[in-house]
């Protein structure tokens, strides 16, 4: 059995925040680094910088200026790479691969716009359809022996303790009841275990995203937990530690998301 340190981070443009990526890698030394919202076409991805950080293997799925997901591994080869598209839209939002004895899924779920109404907001309708399609797909693949890890910016804060104010955010996209219902169905599709909440009690406030609008984000602390790591039941006993590396949110010119780190025995 080997221990993997898995990190997931919506980096909000990998080329703009490469210094922060390097600083984080030096601090936490992840074995697997999963990035979202890389905002770069594959041929322009700064792979040389990641190699210098010690990542010998990679899988990237990008597009110019928008979205994009990537996986980097220090030692274990990355195999069976699949770039999946959903809702018949040419977005780079889901990368699937085999690495270190697990099937890894890296997601960047659509944010959903500002209005939580599918009748007037196509972006919100897209988000719910995306989650529904993914849920149905995992349900069809459900097996007790599956060793899956799912990471990414899922753009939903499901628990009351995942947002700074539950009542005020009930009508705000990312914490609306219909989004939470869709996420609950997604989790049930393969009996996914929330690795972070397996370590951090569900009643303890925990956030991974803070708006750029706050002059002092840490003092205001109006956060949401949008970034997640889930594992299938076959891997759940291997969860050893989990945390949000919120120091990164306070670095110069940061992403509005902080990395999430999970230590997992596989």
* Cα(52)–Cα(232) distance, integer angstroms: 32
- Residue 67 pLDDT: 98
Q: How far apart are CA 126 and CA 130, in angstroms?
A: 6
Single out the residue of 106, 200, 122 nearest to residue 159, CA to CA: 200
| pTM more than 0.85 | yes
- Residue 122 in this model has a pLDDT that exceeds 90: yes
Q: Quick one: pLDDT at residue 215?
A: 87
Q: Which of 248, 252, 265, 261 lies closest to 24 in space, CA to CA? A: 248
Q: In this predicted model, what pLDDT tens digit does every residue of 60-99 receive, in sequence order?
A: 999 999 999 999 999 999 999 999 999 999 999 999 999 9
Tokens of 134: 């993914």
Give the pLDDT confidence of 7-65 residue by residue, as tens digits: 999 999 999 999 999 999 999 999 999 999 999 999 999 999 999 999 999 999 999 99
3-state helix, strand, coil in the chain (%, to 5): 25, 30, 45
Secondary structure letter of residue 163 according to DSSP: B
Residues 6+ apart with CB under 8 A from 60: 38, 42, 45, 47, 68, 69, 70, 71, 95
Is the predicted pLDDT of residue 1 greater than 90, yes or no?
Answer: no
Strands 148-153 and 102-108: parallel
The CA distance from 178 to 125, in Å, is 11
What CA–CA distance (Å, rounded) separates 111 from 172? 11
User: What is the rounded CA–CA span in Å between residue 190 and residue 123?
Assistant: 26
- Beta strand spans in the chain (E): 3-10, 32-36, 57-61, 69-73, 78-84, 94-99, 102-108, 148-153, 193-194, 209-210, 223-224, 227-231, 239-244, 260-265
Contact 99, 30 (CB under 8 A): no
Q: Which two tokens stand for residue 204?
A: 């303890």
Q: How many angstroms separate the CA atoms of 134 and 130, rounded?
A: 6
Percent of the chain with pLDDT over 70: 100
Residues 126-141 pLDDT 10s: 999 999 999 999 999 9
Q: What is the pLDDT of residue 231?
A: 98
Number of structural domains, the chain?
Answer: 1
CATH of the domain at 13: 3.60.10.10
pLDDT at 26: 98
Give me the pLDDT at residue 245, please.
Answer: 98
CA distances from residue 226 to 8, 90, 185 in whole angstroms, order as listed: 11, 23, 17
Give the mean pLDDT of 108-127. 98
Mean pLDDT value across residues 233-248: 98
Domain extent for 212: 3-265
What would the pLDDT profile of 179-212 be if each residue is shown by its tens digit?
999 999 999 999 999 999 999 999 999 999 999 9
């Amino acid at each position: 059995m080997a221990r993997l340190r898995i990190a997931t981070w919506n980096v909000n443009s990998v080329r703009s925040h490469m210094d922060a990526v390097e600083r984080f890698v030096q601090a936490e030394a992840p074995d697997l680094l999963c990035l979202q919202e890389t905002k770069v076409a594959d041929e322009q991805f700064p792979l040389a910088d990641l190699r210098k950080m010690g990542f010998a293997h990679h899988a990237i799925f990008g597009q110019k200026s928008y979205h994009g997901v990537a996986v980097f591994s220090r030692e274990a080869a990355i195999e069976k790479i699949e770039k999946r598209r959903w809702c018949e839209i040419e977005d780079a939002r889901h990368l699937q691969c085999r690495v270190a004895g697990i099937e890894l899924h890296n997601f960047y779920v659509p944010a959903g716009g500002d209005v939580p109404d599918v009748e007037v907001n196509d972006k919100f309708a897209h988000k719910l359809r995306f989650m529904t399609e993914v849920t149905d797909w995992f349900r069809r693949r459900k097996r007790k022996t599956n060793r899956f890890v799912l990471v990414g910016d899922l753009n939903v804060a499901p628990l009351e303790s995942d947002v700074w104010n539950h009542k005020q955010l009930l009508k705000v996209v990312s914490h609306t009841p219909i989004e939470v219902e869709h996420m609950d169905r997604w989790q049930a599709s393969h009996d996914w275990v929330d690795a972070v909440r397996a370590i951090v009690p569900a009643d303890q406030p925990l956030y991974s995203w803070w708006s750029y609008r706050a002059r002092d984000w840490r003092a205001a602390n109006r956060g949401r937990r949008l970034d997640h790591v889930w594992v299938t039941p076959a891997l759940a006993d291997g969860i050893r530690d989990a945390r949000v590396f919120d120091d990164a949110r306070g670095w110069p010119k940061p992403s509005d998301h902080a990395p999430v780190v999970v230590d997992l025995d596989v």
